[in-house]
Structure 1
Amino acid sequence: MLQGKNVTLRAIERDDLKTLHELTTHIESSILADGAWEPDSLAAMEKRFEKRLERDNKSWFGIHVDGRLVGDINLHSIDMRSRVSAFGVAIYAEEAQGQGYGREAIGLFLDWAFFIMNFERIWLTSWSTNQRAIRCYRALGFVDEGRQRRQLFVNGEYVDVILMGLLRDEWRAHNKG
């Protein structure tokens, strides 16, 4: 468990899946999370959870505020040899969006990924239309590393995908300031 001022990160448990499923059934929440929304069954989510349990790397955390699950954050596309991974984050609960919880969760998560798990680089992709997320990532020290033009079809239009990355030394320097 990782504890911040307002946010607690803890491993997703089987008991969290029903709440997480309910939170992710809204198309608006998925769009804010840079996800291509598709209906998903609780059974499908449970199957993904079981697959994650089989892996050695346990890196799927629930984001909790005042004891309530409001989102999730995780590593994926992990390369343990090079110590590089992508990450994804979403605040699904509408009332928790825009409150700074995502930013705090990312900070806790990056400390864990860089200084406990010893990753060298963390990267992400975001839709070019998700300016709120891009501003948050830049404020946390992520730098733009690339752009895939008109890569995804979202809500009736093609959007660019922005690739951003952060190195451990950059995160350390960012936090000293």
Structure 2
Amino acid sequence: MVNANMIKGSKISLKPIEIKDIPILWNLIYREEMPEFKKWDAPYFPWKRVDYEPYRSVMLERIEQGLDTQWLIMAEDQIIGSVFYYWEYEPTNWMEMGITIYSPDHWNGGFGTEAIKIWTSHLFRRFPDIPRLGYTTWSGNMRMIQVGLKLGMQEEARIRKARSYNGEYYDSVKLGVLREEWEEMYGK
């Protein structure tokens, strides 16, 4: 069944999380003690495994409240990741976004690039007052830096040696795009 809010691309679709997705999502995120995706998704922050019932309770509450800050990335009717947004500072319309592709089988296949492109367009349409969108990654995750640059984002900030992982220091890298730049490249 197709969700009415689903946004379709050529490789992936984005859709809001539904109750039936909760066990699958938990399994993708928390089944393993240290999932492979966590080596790239801010590995400098401690990983804390969450038991299913507390996770389910939080997700049910979010769904019941209509919070849709996180959507699922679907490929061939299978959840492969999620995109999200959060307010860095809502009074000034400063919004940030992020993405996680959970399975290494879906890395380097253009799934993340398409998801960020669709998500960025969706957020600019949904929030007409935000002038800019972007995300922060680290210099150890060259794939995420390349995704932003490929889509026309600019490197807006680089905080040198701000992240420590496995005994090495990495830069924190912020990429972003202004609404008018995005609309010039991809339309409204």
TM-score norm. by structure 1 comes to: 0.87
| Cα separation, 2, equivalents of 1:124 and 1:88 | 6
Alignment match, 1:86: 96
> Does the residue aligned with 2:25 lie in a helix, a strand or coil?
helix
Please, which runs of 5 or more residues in structure 2 have no aligned partner? 1-5
Q: Matched residues in 1 for 2:39 and 2:8: separation? A: 27
Q: Which amino acid aligns with 1:166?
A: V
- Aligned equivalent of 2:113: 103
Local SS of the residue matching 1:24: helix
Identity over aligned pairs, percent: 26
CA distance in 1, matches of 2:65, 2:159: 30
The answer for the alignment partner of 1:140 in structure 2 is: 151
RMSD, aligned α-carbons? 2.1
Separation in structure 2 between the aligned mates of residue 143 and residue 69 of structure 1, nearest angstrom: 29
- Displacement of 1:56: 6.2
Instruction: Tell me how far 1:153 sits from its aligned partner.
Output: 2.3
Counterpart CA distance in 2 for 1:78 and 1:10 is 23
Q: What do residues 6-58 of structure 1 show as CA deviations (whole Å, max 9, x unaligned)?
A: 21100012322222222223432122233533323223433442453476652
Tell which structure's C-alpha radius of gyration is larger. 2
Q: What are the ranges of 5 or more consecutive residues in structure 1 without an aligned counterpart? A: none
Q: 2:27 aligns with which of 22, 27, 30?
A: 22
TM superposition score normalised by structure 2? 0.82
| Residues in 1 aligned to 2:117 and 2:13: alpha-carbon distance in whole angstroms | 12
Partner of 2:17: 12
Moved more, 37-46 or 137-146: 37-46
Retained in 2: the 8 A contact 1:17–1:42? no
Aligned residue identity for 1:4: G
